[in-house]
Structures are given as C-alpha cells and as structure tokens.
Amino acid sequence: MVTVGIDLGGTTIKMGAVRDGQLIASSEIKADSNKSLTAKLPEIAAGVNMLLQGLPVEERKFEGIGLAFPSIVDSRDMKVLLQYVKFSDADELDLKAWAEQTWGVPFVLENDARAALVGEWQYGAGRGEDNIVLCTIGTGFGSAVLMDGKVLKGAHYVAGNLGGHMVVNFKGDKCNCGGIGCLETEASSWVLESKCQSHPLFNQSTLSSLETINYRAVFDHADTGDRLSIEIRDHSISVWAAGIVNLVHAFDPNVVIIGGGVMRRGQLILPLLQAHVDQHTWPPAGTYKIMPADDFTNAGVLGMAYLAGRAVN
Ligand SMILES: [Zn+2]
C-alpha cells in the first residue's frame, strides 16, 4: 500500500510517498509560512501530484494522506486548534475536506512532534519500543510521548507536546505561552540572541561582531574558547537536560530520542545529556537511554504516511 505524508514546517514543506515504510519518492517546497495556508494548499496539492507522477503507474494510486502541522492539533476532528505564528489561518481551514475533495482518500492530521515520534517509533531509533519520549531541539524545544504503545494526546491534545513549556526556573522570564521560566525562555533559538546581548560578557565576546547569533555560532565560538559562548552553550545543555529529567520522570520511557537543529553537535551534546540524566533521575543510571533520531529529516513524513495507512485499515 502506498500512502503519502506531508510535513509542514516553518521554512519547508516536505512530502513523501511511502510503501511499506520505505520512502519511494520525496520532494520539498518552500513553506512561505508567513503567508496563509489557504494560498499554499494548491501548491501542496500540485507538489503531491507531481511526486506521484514520477512513480511507476501502478504506484501512483495512493490509499491515504497525512499532514503534520507545527501546532496543537485535534487529531480526532482533524482541526488545527491553536493559532500559530506561521500559517495563521490554519485553524479556520477544513483540511480533511480539502484532502477528500482533492484526492478522495482518507486524511489524518497530527502535531509535527507526534508525527516525528511515530516515524522514529515505526521505522527509526525507536523500533520495537513501547515507551518513548521524543524531543526536537531547534527553534524551540518540542516533544511527544509514546506510552505503553500509545501516542499520548490528553483531554486537550497537548499531552507530551509541551516539553518546551515545562517550568525550569519559576522565578524566570515570562514566556510567550503566558508561563514564567519555561524551558524555552532559558534555552531556545528564539531567546538566544537576547540572552547573549544582555550578558555582562557580551562586549568582550566574539559573538558581538556577528549580525545574527544562532546556536551554530555559539557552539563554533565556544570551540575557539569564547567565554560567553562556552557559558551559554553549557547553560543551554543543562536546561535541555533538566527538561529531559522532567519528561522521563513524568513519562518513564525506555528511550529518549533527540532530533532537531542542535543535533549537528550531537556527539558533544548527547553524552552530556546522558550523564546528567543518569545522575539526576530517581531510577538508577542506565535506565533511560538517550539516542539520536535515525532519520529526523524524514521522520515526520514517514510518521504521517504510517498514520494515514492505519486510517485506511
Ligand atoms: Zn512557555
């Protein structure tokens, strides 16, 4: 059975046709996520159709389609629940009707972190596991949880998803979610620049000569001995580690799978996260294995294609 997965991100939209867990065709288009999703849907439909045109005739007919969206999603009624800074009209759209009218196949909608979790669970680093926490550390800190073989959703579809908004400093800064001292207010791409600029070491730091400051720069400058970069890097890793401790204490997985932009430095980060978790969790060291995602680039597409297949059966 061939199914199609679409992963809507802030900068790119990835699409893939999947047969038996194998990506048989894939492509991506620019997200233009500051514009409306209404304006983007025809381009997404054309992209999927073009993808299928490249396949042998017998594989062009697909059975179901799944879309991952980077916000809180009601996966039972197929609605985007929360207005998101990107694609701000998404919560007004009937995406299920769009998919059914366009292709006449079953449609599933899910949050992007859950889609990546399902992809890694079925085909990646989490194969064979029933209890997984997945964290994506990039612009923010996303998370999703598989518990006893079920993807957690909760009464309001946020269960397991708000790892970035766990409180790690209750006397900290106000977060864009309304919280105080959320993980993302302590260590995420969206606060990184202001954290650096307001730091007493900023004027002596090599970061001060940069036009924009991102984690890639912080890690690179830390490598060359810049004191501010080292401090921010180490603080960020400690914050992410504290978040993972909270998540494993709440959800008790076997494995914690990490993906996202900062995993470019996974060789440095993962052992530090593992050491922190081994030292600071209630169960003994070695209980929680922290590992990199297998194919984080395609995990969302694979996960949505899997969920679409399950909706068909
Ligand atoms: Zn928050």
At residue 313 the predicted structure's pLDDT band, cuts being 50, 70 and 90, is confident
Query: Tens digit of pLDDT for each residue in 138-187?
Result: 889 999 999 999 999 999 999 999 999 999 999 999 999 999 999 999 99
**CA 31 to chain CA centroid, nearest Å:** 16
- For the chain, the first-to-last Cα distance in angstroms comes to 10
On the question of pLDDT at 222 being above 90, the answer is yes
Instruction: Report the CATH number that the domain containing residue 20 is assigned in CATH.
Output: 3.30.420.40
How much is the average pLDDT of 221-234? 98
Q: Is residue 124 part of a domain?
A: no
Ligand 1 centroid to 184 CA: how many Å?
7
Task: Compute the radius of gyration of the chain from its Cα atoms.
Answer: 20
238 and 261 in a single domain? The answer is yes
How much is the average pLDDT of 195-207? 98
74 and 105 in a single domain? The answer is yes
Q: Which two tokens stand for residue 242?
A: 């504290």
**CA 224 to chain CA centroid, nearest Å:** 30
Per-residue pLDDT at 84: 65
Ligand 1 centroid to 93 CA: how many Å?
26
How much is the average pLDDT of 9-25? 93
Q: Is residue 153 part of a domain?
A: yes
Query: Pick from 107, 126, 106: which is nearest to 116 by CA?
Result: 126
How much is the average pLDDT of 62-81? 94
Ligand 1 centroid to 127 CA: how many Å?
31
79 and 36 in a single domain? The answer is yes
236 and 282 in a single domain? The answer is yes
Ligand 1 centroid to 226 CA: how many Å?
29
Ligand 1 centroid to 174 CA: how many Å?
8
143 and 82 in a single domain? The answer is no
Q: Is residue 271 part of a domain?
A: yes
Percent residues over pLDDT 90 in the chain:
90
**Which residues lie closer than 8 Å to 229 by C-beta, 6 or more apart?**
205, 206, 207, 217, 218, 219, 220, 221, 222
Residues with CB under 5 A from ligand 1 (ion): 165, 175, 177, 179, 182
Ligand 1 centroid to 163 CA: how many Å?
9
Residue ranges making up the domain that contains 246: 129-293
